[in-house]
Structure 1
């Protein structure tokens, strides 16, 4: 049953589950919350970008194909890519 459990976990996405979210970084009125995902001994670039509060809160989650060898490097790359996305797309990121 170990093999079946492993296959089920692979297809259910548990192999790439997000770890504890990091502290929020404010950037140009947006909030970036890095959420590196452990993936086979490496970390996948992932984050949530939010703007607004309460009923006006908008969220965009992204997961990139980029894999980093350690968590700190992954967070650094995640923040760089999130800021670039905000610079390029601004509020249209939520469309």
Structure 2
């Protein structure tokens, strides 16, 4: 049924609007908290970005922590990303 749904434009997933994530600035880095749905839970997931010498550097940030609510996963993402930045600085992108 999934093939025919997509073929005839009845795919519910494609109808959902894409969410825009606003970054949180922290010490010159931009943190994007993007909780990832895994089964009926949400995984800590996101990106840490910074422009260095005119080039946008990005580090994908994924942890195994799972939460019932995406807001909880995003809150932990921000907290862990800040600690990671404090520990590694621009070394994140090496």
Q: TM-score range by the shorter chain?
A: 0.7 to 0.9
- Alpha-carbon separation, structure 1, partners of 2:83 and 2:92: 12
Runs of at least 5 residues in structure 2 that lack an aligned partner in the other structure:
3-17
- Determine helix, strand or coil for the equivalent of 1:51: strand
Task: Report the alpha carbon displacement of residue 22 of structure 1 after superposing the two structures with TM.
Answer: 2.4
Which protein has the bigger strand share?
2
Which protein has the bigger helix share?
1
Greater than 4 Å deviation, 4+ residue runs: none
Q: Paired residue for 1:72? A: 71
Given the two structures, how large is their TM-score scaled by the length of structure 1? 0.74
Given the two structures, how large is their TM-score scaled by the length of structure 2? 0.75
CA RMSD of aligned residues (A): 2.1
Is it true that 1:22 corresponds to 2:51 in the alignment? Answer: no
Greater C-alpha radius of gyration: 2
Distance change in 2, residues 1:64/1:21 (3 Å)? farther
- Alpha-carbon separation, structure 1, partners of 2:20 and 2:73: 12
Runs of at least 5 residues in structure 1 that lack an aligned partner in the other structure:
3-18
